[in-house]
Amino acid sequence: MNAEKRQQIFARLQAENPHPTTELNYSTPFELLIAVILSAQATDVGVNKATDKLYPVANTPQAIYDLGVEGLKSYIKTIGLFNSKAENVIKTCRILLDQHNGEVPDNRIALEALPGVGRKTANVVLNTAFGHPTIAVDTHIFRVSNRTGLAKGKNVDEVEQKLLRHVPKLYKQDAHHWLILHGRYICIARKPRCGACVIEDLCDFKDKQEI
Ligand code: SF4
């Protein structure tokens, strides 16, 4: 795919949704960090249902740490992998209190050192809480990037590196949200809704669907 096409793809996604953001509910970097940890292999809707009850009770590292693993589990038990997530969140809160004055660090190395935080989670927090032009490649972005030809790659790291190289600077900050939302609602896994897609004529996918 050439640069002109990439530019047009993002111009159209931007025209459709000028201010894209995450569908996770949060009001502080800490709330976002915990929501993203909880969202691994779970839906944003499911995470929001849990955090909508948890955050009014506990939304700081100290308050969640004070709940303890069992106390936290009672709020998140509807979310997949809640046992290991509860343990990771409590350990993360302890590290934030001990090493970062209770604040979420604004740097990749410190974020990735937190239990339950990998590259994707760090990218989401750096982008959405701190305004860095990172791109967190999840299953949706991986699929959309490969189908459209925006950034073809065999694994998420390859796609991330290509997107970072090729997404026009103007669009890099929001690219991650545009591509996730496009994958979640239009370029869906089983049967992409090509007939409703604003970038259909720019997309290289060979097996487009009518609806
Ligand atoms: S045209 Fe179809 S395959 Fe291409 S991005 Fe749109 S929905 Fe996805």
Q: List, by residue range, all CATH 1.10.1670.10 domains of the chain.
A: 3-20+134-202
Residue 184 sits at the vertex; the CA angle it makes with 139 and 78, to the nearest 5 degrees, is 80
Closest protein CA for atom 8 of ligand 1:
187
CB 204 within 8 Å of CB 148: yes
Q: List, by residue range, all CATH 1.10.340.30 domains of the chain.
A: 29-128
Q: Which fold has domain 3-20+134-202?
A: Endonuclease Iii, domain 2 (1.10.1670)
pTM: 0.91
CA distance 127 to 145: 19
Q: What is the pLDDT of residues 188-208, one digit of tens each?
A: 999 999 999 999 999 999 998
CA distance 82 to 71: 12
Ligand 1 site residues (CB inside 6 A) read 147-148, 186-187, 192-194, 197, 199-200, 203, 205, 208
Q: What is the pLDDT of residue 103?
A: 98
**What tokens were used for 129?**
């809480």
Q: What is the pLDDT of residues 134-146, one digit of tens each?
A: 999 999 999 999 9
Distance (Å) from CA 134 to ligand 1 centroid: 23
Q: What is the pLDDT of residues 65-87, one digit of tens each?
A: 999 999 999 999 999 999 999 99
Q: What is the pLDDT of residue 17?
A: 95
Candidate from 146, 179, 197, 201 with most ligand 1 atoms within 8 A of CB, to mutate: 197
Q: What is the pLDDT of residue 210?
A: 78
Helix (H), strand (E) at residue 199: none
Quick check: 45 pLDDT over 80? yes
Q: Which fold has domain 29-128?
A: Endonuclease III; domain 1 (1.10.340)
